[in-house]
Each structure stands twice: as C-alpha cells, then as structure tokens.
Structure 1
Amino acid sequence: MTQDDPRGLPEGGKGEGLSSLDERLKAARNAEAARKGKAAGKPRKGYNQGSRVLTELIAGPAGGAIIGWLIDRWLGTSPWLLLVMLFSGTVVAFRNIYRISNERPE
C-alpha cells in the first residue's frame, strides 16, 4: 500500500478483500434471485383462482341479466325473465365458485 493511494488498496489495484466481497455479493444475488423465483412462482395458481372467482361473480349475474333483458324485450314479458335469468346466473356463478374453491392451489 502506498501513502499516495487514497483508496488504501495495494499496488495491484484490487485488494484481497474486494475479491471476497465480490464473491459474497454474487452469492447474495443468486440467493435473492432464487428466493424471488420461488416466491413469484408459488402463489400464481392462487392468484389465478382468485381472478376466476372474481370473473364468475361479475359475469354470471351480468350475463344472466343481459340475456333475460333481451328475451324480455323480444317476448314482451318484462321484468320476469330478467329476474329469472339474473337469479339463475347468480346460482350458476356460485356453483362454479364452489367448484373452483375445491381445487388445490399448489
């Protein structure tokens, strides 16, 4: 080490401490990448199931209501088929949610 070198490194430019620091940083980055890979991949099916449940909750009653409204306008039986189809869409949505909830989120 020279007194003129403000970094305090030996004359080779790279100290022995830096090589071990580089190794530790590399190991820490690899461990972090492995942790993120496991954490990112693990709950994926759970999120997919949640999205499916949300879709069923919205699409079931909405689809039934739209179909019932269209048939009511066509047949002139307003609002009875709208109510029947809204109820049946809700029942189908809850049945599908029950099926989704029985799947394992591995």
Structure 2
Amino acid sequence: MSEEPSRHDPVEEDARIDALDTRLKAAKEREEARNRTQAHGADANYRMGNRVLAELLGGLVGGALIGWVIDWFAGTSPWGLLVMLFMGTVVAFRNIIRMSNRPPD
C-alpha cells in the first residue's frame, strides 16, 4: 500500500504554529493591558457613584431628621420638617454639583 504524500511541509507548519503563538501572546498582552485600565476606571466611577448616592440620601435623611426634631420641640408641625427637608435637598445637590465640577485625579 502506498501512502499519500503529505500536502504540507512539516517545517512550514511549524513556522505557522510559531507565528500563531506569537500573535496569540501579543493579543493576550493587549487584552490584559486593556482590562487593567478598564478596572481602574470602573472602580473610580463606582466610588464616585456611591459618594453621590450617599450625599443625596444623607441630605434628605439628615434634613428630615433635623426638621422632625425641630417640630417635636417647637411644636411647628409640619413646617420645620418641610423647611429642613428642602434645605437638606439643596445642600445635597450643592455638594453633588461641587463634586462633579472637581477635576479628576
């Protein structure tokens, strides 16, 4: 029985495999570099989002609590609560605007 000769030269196949390995290694390095920069930016954006949420909730809850205490002691229900809730909202938005106008690190 005669064997059919190989269509590809083994040396040529080795060169193609080596070239493929080189390209694969370069692609992995580019992907790792891209993931490192994205992870750093995502962490910073995540922290900034949490800070904005904390400012907003803190202003609303803090203003409502202070207003409720004023109403409790002064007997001005519901005006102390409403005024301080409004003031807490204004302060929260002022802080958020100040954070958004600050240049990035």
Superposition deviation, residue 90 in structure 1? 1.2
Does the aligned pair in 2 maintain the 1:64–1:87 contact within 8 Å? Answer: yes
Amino acid at match of 1:88: M
Question: How far, CA to CA, are the matches of 1:92 and 1:104 in structure 2?
Answer: 20
Match of 1:29 in 2: 28
Residues 56 and 96 in structure 1, CA contact (< 8 A), matched pair in contact too: yes
Change (3 A) 1:95 1:21: same
Task: Determine the structure 1 residue equivalent to 2:50.
Answer: 51
Match of 1:81 in 2: 80
Superposition TM-score, scaled by structure 2 size: 0.71
AA aligned opposite 1:54: L
- Aligned counterpart, 2:61: 62
Give % identity: 53
> Relative contact order (alpha carbons < 8 A, sep ≥ 6): 1 or 2 greater?
1
Deviation at 1:95, TM superposition (A): 1.8
In structure 2, the residue corresponding to 1:104 is in which secondary structure? coil
Instruction: Tell me if the contact between 1:67 and 1:85 (Cα under 8 Å) persists in the aligned partners.
Output: yes
Compared CA separation, residues 44 and 50, structure 1 to 2 (3 A)? same
Report the Cα offset of residue 44 of structure 1.
4.0
Structure 1's consecutive aligned runs of 4 or more residues displaced over 6 angstroms after TM superposition are none
Partner amino acid, structure 2, of 1:73: W
TM-score (norm 1): 0.70
In structure 1, the partner of 2:97 is 98
- Equivalents in 2 of 1:49, 1:105: separation in Å? 11
In 1, Cα distance between equivalents of 2:63 and 2:41: 35
Root-mean-square deviation (CA), in Å? 2.9
Give unpaired runs (5+ residues) of structure 2: none
Q: 5+ residue gaps in structure 1? A: none
